[in-house]
């Protein structure tokens, strides 16, 4: 099979499927906005290509039309290096750029840069905030009872982060650990791991799916999540195939406000137990509650508000 390198798209037509551009299948339009992680067609071809690869490794020759299917990356590797288009060019995001990493996007510096700059700033920055008791909550974003937020993106992809309440109660973390790209995650199971000094806390996943990206900036400066929890402080992106089911267990809009009011009420009770009525400054909770009140028990805060032990 010889890959076709032209991107045959027009103003009134859908973009051409990656597998079609690579010449693995006949010309086919993409109806998933180039979100391969959400595409069943992509998943099916990947499974078939991997099955054929394993068969060939055993010395067997796959038969029939399906037996001719290889991964689009393998087919593109037959093109001279200077003419191999970067995946982001194939998706129509950038002008032509040759792939210099044999389509190993997971170890590609440009791919990481693209995720950090293009995907992050286009999808995350436009967010409208409201306040409940001094705590910020974003509009149009779902909230999990364990204080993670979920922002819907293209297809079945979502972006996940920690909300303002959890970060102000526990204070800025020294370290944030998240699952690696490609790892499965499960709703209501530990997802993100926070560390502050010698204290640790697990944060529950709001959805089930597979991690498709993590925020590299948090590796360099974990406190970014505290400074901008709903924009630069996002933690990961997840492809969530059962998203409709997961969203039924999350809150949005007025539900979020009512839930947060109850959480604030519980927090005030804990503050008064620990430091008396002066624990609240001007009627609102001061930042870094745990750090400013040494008498607070970390484990109690984590169990009560993050819903974990």
Domain membership flag for residue 97: yes
pTM above 0.75, yes or no: no
Are 98 and 202 in a shared domain?
A: no
Domain membership flag for residue 119: no
* Tens-level pLDDT at each residue, the chain (309 residues): 444 444 333 334 578 999 999 999 999 998 877 778 768 899 899 999 999 999 999 999 999 989 999 999 999 999 999 999 999 889 887 889 999 999 988 788 887 777 655 554 444 554 678 888 889 888 889 999 999 999 988 768 899 999 999 999 999 999 999 998 889 999 999 999 999 999 999 999 999 999 988 888 888 888 888 888 988 889 999 999 899 899 999 999 889 999 999 999 999 999 888 877 654 444 567 789 999 888 899 999 999 999 986
Show the tokens assigned to 27.
Answer: 């010309």
Contact 111, 105 (CB under 8 A): yes
Number of domains in the chain: 2
Are 280 and 230 in a shared domain?
A: yes
Contact 1, 24 (CB under 8 A): yes
Are 68 and 189 in a shared domain?
A: no
55-104 residue pLDDT tens: 999 999 999 989 999 999 999 999 999 999 999 889 887 889 999 999 98
b/e burial code for range 26-62 (CB count within 10 A of at least 16 → b): eeeebebebbbbbbeebeebbebbeebeeeeeeeeeb
110-127 residue pLDDT tens: 877 776 555 544 445 546
Domain membership flag for residue 293: yes
Are 164 and 278 in a shared domain?
A: yes
90: how many CB neighbours lie within 10 A of its CB? 23
Domain membership flag for residue 6: no
Query: To 10 degrees, the CA torsion angle through 153, 23, 16, 89?
Result: 70
Domain membership flag for residue 10: no
Are 222 and 86 in a shared domain?
A: no
Are 302 and 155 in a shared domain?
A: yes
CATH of residue 195 = 2.40.50.100
CA-CA distance, 62 to 56, in Å (whole number)?
7
Are 154 and 24 in a shared domain?
A: no
Are 154 and 283 in a shared domain?
A: yes
Are 75 and 137 in a shared domain?
A: no
Are 217 and 78 in a shared domain?
A: no
CA-CA distance, 228 to 201, in Å (whole number)?
20
**Domain enclosing residue 49, as ranges:** 18-103
Q: What is the DSSP letter of 25?
A: S
Edge-to-edge strand ranges of the sheet holding 209-214: 142-143, 148-152, 157-162, 236-239, 209-214, 184-185
| Domain C-terminal end among 87, 103, 119 | 103
Show the tokens assigned to 139.
Answer: 């509009």
Domain membership flag for residue 8: no
Q: Look at the block and give the residue holding tokens 């490609």.
A: 182
Tell me the Ramachandran region of residue 299: left when phi exceeds 0, alpha when psi lies from -120 to 50, beta otherwise: alpha
Domain membership flag for residue 13: no
Are 82 and 215 in a shared domain?
A: no
Are 93 and 166 in a shared domain?
A: no
- First-residue to last-residue Cα distance in the chain: 55
Show the tokens assigned to 98.
Answer: 């040759």
Close Cβ partners of 37 (under 8 Å, ≥ 6 residues apart): 155, 156, 157, 210, 212, 239
Domain membership flag for residue 79: yes
């Amino acid at each position: 099979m010889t890959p076709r390198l032209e991107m045959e798209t027009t103003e009134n037509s859908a973009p051409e499927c990656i597998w079609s551009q690579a010449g693995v299948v006949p010309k086919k339009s993409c109806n998933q906005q180039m979100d391969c992680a959400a595409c069943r067609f992509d998943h099916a071809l990947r499974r078939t290509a991997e099955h054929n690869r394993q068969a060939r490794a055993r010395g067997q020759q796959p038969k029939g039309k399906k037996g001719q299917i290889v991964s689009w990356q393998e087919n593109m590797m037959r093109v001279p290096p200077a003419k191999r288009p970067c995946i982001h060019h194939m998706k129509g995001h950038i002008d032509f750029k040759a792939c210099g990493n044999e389509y190993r996007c997971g170890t590609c510096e440009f791919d990481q840069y693209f995720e950090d700059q293009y995907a992050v700033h286009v999808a995350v920055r436009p967010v409208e905030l409201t306040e409940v008791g001094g705590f910020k909550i974003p509009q149009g974003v779902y909230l999990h009872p364990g204080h993670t937020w979920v922002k819907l993106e293209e297809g079945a992809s979502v972006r996940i982060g920690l909300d303002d309440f959890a970060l102000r109660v526990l204070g800025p973390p020294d370290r944030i650990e998240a699952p690696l790209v490609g790892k499965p995650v499960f709703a209501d199971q530990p997802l993100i791991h926070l560390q502050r000094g010698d204290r640790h806390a697990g944060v529950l996943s709001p959805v089930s799916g597979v991690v498709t990206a993590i925020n590299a900036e948090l590796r360099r400066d974990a406190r970014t999540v505290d400074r901008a929890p709903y924009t630069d402080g996002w933690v990961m992106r997840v492809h969530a195939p059962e998203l409709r089911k997961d969203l039924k267990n999350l809150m949005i809009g007025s539900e979020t406000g009512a839930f947060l009011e109850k959480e604030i009420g519980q927090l005030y009770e804990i503050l008064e137990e620990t430091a008396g009525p002066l624990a609240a400054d001007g009627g609102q909770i001061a930042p870094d509650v745990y750090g400013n009140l040494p008498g607070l028990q970390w484990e109690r805060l984590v169990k009560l508000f993050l819903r974990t032990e």
